[in-house]
Amino acid sequence: MIARAFLCFACYFLIFPVLAQGSYSLPKDSKKILFLGNSISYAGQYLTYVETYLRLIHPERNWEFINLGLPSETVSGLSEAGHADGRFPRPDLHERLDRVLKAVEPDFIFSCYGINDGIYLPFDESRFSAYKKGQQKLQQKADSLGIPLIHLTPPVYDRPQDPAYASVLAVYASWMVSQRYAQAWKVIDLHWPMRKFLEDERETNPDFALTSDGVHPGEQGHWLMARSLLKGIGESQYLEADLPKAVFDRIPLGTELLPLVREKQEVIRDAWLSYTGHERPGLREGLPMDQALFRKEELMKSISKLLSRNKLR
């Protein structure tokens, strides 16, 4: 079954190689930008790179980036038996989605799901259907509220002892890209650029890896995600390098801005997750919202002061 499904999607991209690319833009009035996702988004390195880059390249924009990624979460509502040693099932995005959207009132949404949605098992049509229905439900909710949504395909899975699941993620990612043409969804592909990079590197270094555990990208993997996202919204400057340090060393004040953005994102992430509620035990409790917003404003003053130095160069 998986071979047939994968072949269909592979043929699609052989026929339409150019259409698999494209870019969108963030409207000028999009101030509050919400990121939804699982533990990869919660970790947030790619979001730190994206926000830092956009603030450096577009210092005139009044951005507000809010990371509400939640570890273990799925968009499909599925959970494997004995998840987390039986302590709790995987949380479902749709359990908290209404609360999040009501509280945050975002102007734009990025969503990155899939890595957990196949439940780390060989391809199964019922699990694939649940993933598709979950994504469709998210799209319908965004449409009903008039909020632009960009789906991000799942990053690569790379556990050598379980190559079958990498193919599952390839099918999920390819289906998501196909929705650009089947349903006019906004989709940015992170999966296939990461997979090509991984395969190219392994031609000269068979031990090369983008993750330490097969699931969670390291620094370079997060940068590749950020680079694809940035290209997907029309950015191009400084994006040739394959490592974040090489990029932010080249942009004036880039390495100074990164830690400020990182701290701000973590403060706001933890506060919003606590404020809106979720079913994922074991997370760090965020500051009360008034304290978090105060700290955010302090950090934004430091960020603005730094960016003003950039304008003088």
- Quick: pLDDT tens for 248-266: 999 999 999 999 999 999 9
- Which segments of the chain have a pLDDT < 50? 1-20, 312-313
**pTM greater than 0.75 (yes/no):** yes
Return the CATH superfamily for domain 2-247: SGNH hydrolase (3.40.50.1110)
Q: What is the per-residue pLDDT for 162?
A: 82
Give the tokens for residue 285: 């409790």
Residue ranges in the chain assigned as alpha helix (H): 2-15, 39-43, 45-57, 93-104, 125-145, 163-182, 191-204, 219-232, 244-250, 254-276, 289-311
Q: What is the per-residue pLDDT for 86?
A: 85
* Residue at token pair 């005139």: 60
Cβ–Cβ < 8 Å for 172, 110: no
Q: Rounded to an integer, what distance in angstroms lies between the CA atom of residue 144 and that of residue 163? A: 39
Q: Rounded to an integer, what distance in angstroms lies between the CA atom of residue 293 and that of residue 267? A: 9
Give the tokens for residue 7: 């072949």
**Packing angle, helices 191-204 and 163-182, rounded to 10:** 140
Residues sharing a CB contact under 8 Å with residue 101, sequence separation 6 or more, in sequence order: 141, 145, 147
Backbone angles phi, psi at 171, to 5 degrees: -65, -45
From 72, 114, 115, select the one nearest 90 (Cα to Cα).
72
